[in-house]
Amino acid sequence: MENEKQIQEKRNQKYNEYVKEVTPTHSLWANMAKAFLVGGIICCLGQMILNVAGNMGLDKEAAGSWCSMLLVLASVLLTGLNIYPSIAKWGGAGALVPITGFANSVAAPAVEFQKEGQVFGIGCKIFTIAGPVILYGIFTSWVLGLVYWGGKMLGFF
């Protein structure tokens, strides 16, 4: 019994050393700086599009629509060219949180599964990542709308 415990402790110690060896180490401050830089660049590009659209005579709503469309288009093109995944890997949340990250999450499965065909590849897999976001976003807004409506009926709002 005593010998078994020693063997098990030795095995656990070796396993812990192995895990420590193969686990990548990350610097929180470096990751935050990269995310800030990438997210800042995306936001600066968006602001540049807004400024150019405003200077061309578009109102704020139309300029915002063009900004969103162009950022989504750029993200999808960069995803198709296999560039955006590298940006996202380096920039982390800075590349994944803005609208460009959502466009990447929709386009990436379509690119990955295109070899399986239009229906079973692209059609079935395109919303594997974005689908739950859309589903739960719509469901949550519906529930909150009911809560707001009920609160309004009872005079809370």
105 or 47, higher pLDDT: 47
The candidate with the shortest Cα–Cα distance to 45, out of 53, 33, 55, is: 53
CA dihedral 32, 35, 40, 43 (to 10 degrees): -140
Average pLDDT over residues 99-122: 74
Query: Within a 10 A sphere around the Cβ of 70, how many other Cβ atoms?
Result: 15
Sign of CA dihedral 108, 70, 118, 138: positive
CA neighbours closer than 13 Å in the CB half-sphere of residue 25: 3
Average pLDDT over residues 81-87: 92
| pLDDT value, residue 118 | 66
| pLDDT value, residue 46 | 95
User: What average pLDDT is seen over the chain?
Assistant: 86
pTM of the full predicted structure?
Answer: 0.65
The predicted-structure confidence for 13-62, as pLDDT tens digits, reads as follows: 999 888 888 888 888 999 999 999 999 999 999 999 999 999 999 999 99
Rounded CA-CA distance 40/36 in Å is 6
